[in-house]
Amino acid sequence: MNIDSDTKLYCLIGNPISKSLSPMIHNLIFQLNSMNAKYLAFNIDNAEYLEKAVDGIRALGIGGFNITIPYKIEIMKYIDEIDEKAKILGAINTVLNINGKLRGFNTDGDGFVKSLRDREIDIKDKKVALIGAGGAAHSIAVSLAFEGIKELVIINRTTQNAYKLKKLVEDVFPNIHINCYEIGRETSIPKDIDILINTTPIGMYPDADSVPISPRLFSTSTIFYDIIYKPQKTKWILEAEKLGCKTFGGLDMLINQAIYSQKIWNKSLMNDSIDWNYIKGEVLKNIINSLQI
Ligand code: NAP
């Protein structure tokens, strides 16, 4: 597609951004929807430039942008309006620019929930366990709470961080029963979990031989979801599959969160006639090629 004076620009800001898959994913989605738009990645290596970068985005009329590590929290002070979910979890990954007014969202948790919904897994009233209590765990926990889960178990290396996440969810959703455990103390962790989610980097390339918790400790009806996408199937997921459990890898969440960002930027993409299954398939092929997984 040619670039001309009508081409709309979108971008990613973060540091580092060189390994980000976002430019490839978003440019492919624009191309497959015949949109006159491009997506670039900007490395902001000095946090002092963050406010100036946001001013530049406003001034140049850049349609929207994503934010990655380490600016997902810090950027919020430069954004005019924050969506309810993002406000609760305290971090944003997507911004929409409407005539210089910036609105912030977080699409990670919704991308996660969408992949469960697509496989017709109902999470209302379920007992869900998160391994990890970092940024991704925050987005997932808040989206799960909005979906009406009954119980949340948080298993983390630093229990203090697990308790911080518990408080954040509990303050807004007092009816959800939440317990925290230390990773590595397997005997104390409840085993009657409906969905068990790994949000730590344990098992991520190049540490591909590690697993966060043995899948054998849980029932075969437990669903295993690893948000890691390199390797596409972690050792943990392969072990759970051998036990006959339903499993998910991280690529679907990654693509879904990007599609949610695109729909925030371009309402035309809400159109029911768009074949998102085809688009997701094309994006998936490109990711697998580029990651060689
Ligand atoms: P983060 O904010 O740094 O949080 C990492 C979490 O993992 C923390 O709870 C940390 O525990 C724990 N952890 C880290 N190293 C550990 C180790 N060696 N042993 C035990 N626990 C450890 O990171 P994040 O942004 O949440 O990302 C986490 C993972 O999710 C990454 O692998 C990332 O690639 C993946 N991710 C995938 C998607 C997707 O779309 N599929 C989206 C976002 C992230 P402490 O509290 O003790 O530090």
Burial class (CB in 10 A: 0-12, 13-18, 19+), 244: exposed
Range in 65-69, 187-191, 248-252 with the lowest mean pLDDT: 187-191
Work out the widest C-alpha separation in the chain, in whole angstroms. Answer: 62
One-letter amino acid at 233 equals: K
Catalytic residue among 72, 85, 114, 233: 72
CB within 8 Å of 118: residues ≥ 6 apart:
252
Give the closest residue (by CA) to ligand 1 atom 35. 228
User: How far apart, in whole angstroms, are the C-alpha atoms of residue 97 and residue 80?
Assistant: 10
Q: What phi and psi, each to the nearest 5 degrees, are found at residue 179?
A: -125, 150
Q: Are 126 and 194 in contact (CB under 8 A)?
A: yes
User: How far apart, in whole angstroms, are the C-alpha atoms of residue 278 and residue 255?
Assistant: 12
**CB of 70 shorter than 6 A to ligand 1:** no
pTM of the predicted model as reported, rounded to 2 decimal places = 0.96
Summarize pLDDT for 173-232 with one digit per residue, the tens.
Answer: 999 999 999 998 888 899 999 999 999 999 999 999 999 999 999 999 999 999 999 999
**CB of 132 shorter than 6 A to ligand 1:** yes
Write down the pLDDT at residue 186: 81
229-239: average pLDDT = 97
User: How far apart, in whole angstroms, are the C-alpha atoms of residue 103 and residue 79?
Assistant: 6
Give 67 Cα–ligand 1 centroid separation in angstroms: 17
Residues 122-155, buried b or exposed e (16+ Cβ, 10 A)?
A: ebeebbbbbbbbbbbbbbbbbbbbbbebebbbbb
CB within 8 Å of 180: residues ≥ 6 apart:
153, 154, 155, 156, 159, 162, 163, 166
**CB of 219 shorter than 6 A to ligand 1:** no
Q: Is 72 a catalytic residue?
A: yes
User: Does 293 have pLDDT greater than 80?
Assistant: no
User: How far apart, in whole angstroms, are the C-alpha atoms of residue 33 and residue 115?
Assistant: 21
Summarize pLDDT for 68-94 with one digit per residue, the tens.
Answer: 999 999 999 999 999 999 999 999 999
**CB of 256 shorter than 6 A to ligand 1:** no
Write down the pLDDT at residue 1: 62
Give the closest residue (by CA) to ligand 1 atom 8. 134
Band of the pLDDT at 138, cuts 50, 70, 90? very high
State the pairing for strand pair 195-198/223-226: parallel
Find the helix or strand (DSSP H, E) in which 14 lies.
strand 8-14
Domains of the chain from N-terminus onward: 8-106+252-291 (3.40.50.10860), 110-249 (3.40.50.720)
**Mutation pick for ligand 1 pocket among 199, 253, 256 (CB with most ligand atoms within 8 Å):** 199
What token pair was written down for 87? 């406000």
For the CA of 157, the nearest atom of ligand 1: 47
For the CA of 132, the nearest atom of ligand 1: 9
User: How far apart, in whole angstroms, are the C-alpha atoms of residue 38 and residue 11?
Assistant: 8
**Mutation pick for ligand 1 pocket among 92, 227, 233, 284 (CB with most ligand atoms within 8 Å):** 227
For the CA of 112, the nearest atom of ligand 1: 40
Write down the pLDDT at residue 2: 84
Return mean pLDDT, the chain. Answer: 96
Question: In Å, how far from its chain's centre is CA 228?
Answer: 10
